[in-house]
């Protein structure tokens, strides 16, 4: 006779405790609860209301020129002009997106400390301008890949805020159906390829995305994000060599927050001039 079926472990679902969730904010908690209840599946997701302000914010599309506060430093390439042309509407939208990301990351921090988010939770507060600024310069046909500090990159690519939180809390409504977690957010239809847990692995992967863009002659580029900790990974230099040999349309973006896990930059990197580390590859310090 065949053997008895192997008993499967049931992973207990963490019950959603409204009292604990409301530490984030009452409006956020209500939005999450409405979204995650069974009845919510029948309704459209609730719109988070814009805050009321003492005075209006301009949504003018009149062109506006801003000079960047710090000049660019470059390596074997001419630095771009410090003058950036934009509009009040674009700047206001950028500020709103960054403020949303900041609030979202702080809320995630609270949920993590409340043990409603398990495992790892790498936060992007302080780095929002990189994601938002990059999006302003590219299209959704260009590709982005990053490591595990990926919540805001997902949002910047058009990811759903509640789906992000559902993923962090391990729910089936999450952007990876609860199977990925904090480090594995993806949005393929917006050319966002994750969400990678192994430090530095995303660098060759991003060069591969650029390889496919060149192979198919798409005329698009890949932004391959990594941190000052990953900057020392050997596979970065392996991939950079091939990217230069094969002229791949990839931009390696080092987000230097001066710490690799708990180790300060000056203890890990002999040369902190990451923009020069490409040697034969042009670099820009932003």
Partner 1 sequence: MTVREALNSALDEEMSADPSVFLMGEEVGEYQGAYKITKGLLDKYGPDRVLDTPITEAGFTGIGVGAAYQGLRPVVEFMTFNFSMQAIDHIINSAAKSNYMSAGQISVPIVFRGPNGAAAGVGAQHSQCYAAWYAHVPGLKVLTPYSAEDARGLLKAAIRDPDPVVFLENELLYGESFPIKAEVLDSSFSVPIGKAKIEREGKDVTITAFSKMVGYALQAAEILSKEGISAEVINLRSIRPLDRAAINASVRKTNRLVTVEEGFPQHGVGAEICMSVVEDSFEYLDAPVERIAGADVPMPYAANLERLAVPQVEDIVRAAKRACYRSS
Tokens representing 34? Answer: 């409405």
* Binders of partner 1 in range 210-249 (CB under 8 A): 210-213, 215-216, 234-235, 237-239, 241-242, 245-246
By three-state DSSP, how is residue 130 classified?
Answer: helix
Query: Is residue 170 a contact point for partner 1 (CB under 8 A)?
Result: no
For residue 78, what is the DSSP state?
Answer: P
Query: Is residue 117 a contact point for partner 1 (CB under 8 A)?
Result: no
Least distance from C-beta 215 to partner 1, angstroms?
Answer: 6
Query: Is residue 262 a contact point for partner 1 (CB under 8 A)?
Result: no
x/- mask, partner 1, residues 131-160, rule CB under 8 A, reads: ------------x-x---------------
Least distance from C-beta 75 to partner 1, angstroms?
Answer: 21
C-alpha atoms less than 13 angstroms from C-alpha of 108 in its C-beta half-sphere: 30
Q: How far apart are CA 48 and CA 30, in angstroms?
A: 10
- Pair 20, 110: CB distance under 8 Å: no
Q: How far apart are CA 134 and CA 151, in angstroms?
A: 15
Least distance from C-beta 230 to partner 1, angstroms?
Answer: 13
- Pair 197, 212: CB distance under 8 Å: no
Tokens 């990059």 sit at which residue? 134
Tokens 């949005």 sit at which residue? 187
Least distance from C-beta 145 to partner 1, angstroms?
Answer: 7
Residue 174 or 260: which CB sits closer to partner 1?
Answer: 174
Residue 152 or 239: which CB sits closer to partner 1?
Answer: 239
Given the rule CB under 8 A, which of 14-22, 26-34, 84-92, 209-217 is the region that contacts partner 1? 209-217
Nearest to 278 by CA among 227, 244, 245, 233: 244
Given the rule CB under 8 A, which of 17-25, 196-204, 254-262, 266-274 is the region that contacts partner 1? 196-204
């Amino acid at each position: 006779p065949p053997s008895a079926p192997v008993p499967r472990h049931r992973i207990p679902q963490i019950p959603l405790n409204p009292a604990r969730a409301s530490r984030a904010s009452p409006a956020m908690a209500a939005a999450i609860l409405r979204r995650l209840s069974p009845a919510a599946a029948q309704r459209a997701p609730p719109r988070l209301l814009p805050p009321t302000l003492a005075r209006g914010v301009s949504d003018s599309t009149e062109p506006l020129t801003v000079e960047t506060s710090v000049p660019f430093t470059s390596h074997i390439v001419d630095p771009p002009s410090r003058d950036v042309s934009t509009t009040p509407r674009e700047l206001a939208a950028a500020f709103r997106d960054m403020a949303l990301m900041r609030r979202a990351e702080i809320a995630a921090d609270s949920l993590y400390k409340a043990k409603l988010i398990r495992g790892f939770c790498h936060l992007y507060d302080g780095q929002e301008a990189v994601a938002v600024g990059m999006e302003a310069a590219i299209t959704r046909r260009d590709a982005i890949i990053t490591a595990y500090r990926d919540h805001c990159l997902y949002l910047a690519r058009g990811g759903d805020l509640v789906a992000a939180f559902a993923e962090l809390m391990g729910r089936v409504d999450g952007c990876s159906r609860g199977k990925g977690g904090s480090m594995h957010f993806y949005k393929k239809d917006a050319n966002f390829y994750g969400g990678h847990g192994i430090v530095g692995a995303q660098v060759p992967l991003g060069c591969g995305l650029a390889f496919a863009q060149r192979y198919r002659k798409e005329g698009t580029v890949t932004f391959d994000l990594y941190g000052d900790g990953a900057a020392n990974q050997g596979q970065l230099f392996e991939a950079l060599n091939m990217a230069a040999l094969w002229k791949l349309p990839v931009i390696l973006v080092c987000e230097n927050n001066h710490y690799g896990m708990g180790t300060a930059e000056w203890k890990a990197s002999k040369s902190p001039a990451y923009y020069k580390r490409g040697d034969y590859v042009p670099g820009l310090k932003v």
